[in-house]
Amino acid sequence: MIVVAVIAIVASIAVPNLLSSRLTTNESAAVATLRNLISAQAQFQAGTLIDTDEDGTGEYGFFGELSGATNLRDRNGGVNGATLTLPVLSGVFRTVRNAVVNHSGYFFQMYLPDADGVGVMEASTGGANPGNMPDADHSEITWCCYAWPANLHTSGNRAFCVNQLGILTQTNNEAAGQNYSGTESQPEPDAMFLDPSTSGSILGMIAVGTTGADGGRWVAVE
């Protein structure tokens, strides 16, 4: 009886600490991933690896394109370009399911803008969707990526976002319009933006230190 009681006491202390440690680890990994993504997108765009309008300025990419998993967008409005032989992202991001990447307890989703600035998501299995292509001109200057827990309160708490400005933001993920968790509840393209004039637009100002379009407060990650 004494042994059982001791084990129960130890477990009551250890389990919450273990869960807290896992949440912290996963959130730190998500932040590190988004910081790496800033560099990867900058390298990809500067290398003019995609230039669908052939104006000499490169465009940003989706996970499938950045990781070399899918064909690049081509000048004919399709996805018949070559694949990257020297990917700018690791092989982890080659696996895209339902337009998101699942990594270290977090889901990651990339958005590129269409002609109206509205965020276009990746194709279900990665890369661009021929039926819903991003705009060439807007994609030369804008992208954003969200990260949120695969299982809220179990694999992580906070949600994060970053865009071409290199400003990494976070929200406590507790507002009424948030509670992002897995594929059941995920951020809209404009979630961290300041009341965009067009719903879903990712071209406007981001909400740093104030309320985003999703009703949550977004602040910079130090």
Q: Is the pLDDT of residue 196 over 80?
A: no
Categorize the per-residue pLDDT at 20 as very low, low, confident or very high, splitting at 50, 70 and 90.
Answer: low
Q: Residue 29: which H helix or E strand, with range?
A: helix 2-46
CB of 38 within 8 A of CB of 166?
Answer: yes
Mean pLDDT in the chain? Answer: 91
In this structure, the number of other CB atoms found within 10 A of the CB of residue 201 comes to 21
| Per-residue confidence band for 9, with pLDDT thresholds at 50, 70 and 90 | very low
pLDDT over 60 at 15, yes or no: no
Query: Model confidence at 222, in pLDDT bands (50, 70, 90)?
Result: confident
Q: What pLDDT was estimated at residue 199?
A: 87
**Which pLDDT score is estimated for 117?**
95
Please state the rounded mean pLDDT for residues 187-215: 91
In this predicted structure, which of 17-21, 25-29, 42-46, 96-100 has the lowest mean pLDDT? 17-21
Residue range 39-79, pLDDT digits in tens: 999 999 999 999 999 999 999 999 999 999 999 999 998 99
Is residue 2 very low, low, confident or very high in pLDDT (cuts 50, 70, 90)?
A: low
Element (H, E) at 74: none
What's the rounded mean pLDDT across residues 122-144?
Answer: 97
The pLDDT value given to residue 153: 95
> Nearest-CA neighbor of 125 among 95, 162, 168, 85?
95
Mean pLDDT of 196-204: 85
- Residue 12 is predicted with a pLDDT of 46
List beta partners, residue 109: 146
DSSP secondary structure, 138-170, as one string? GGGT--EEEEEESSBTTTBS-EEEEETT---EE
Q: Do 24 and 157 touch, CB atoms closer than 8 A?
A: no
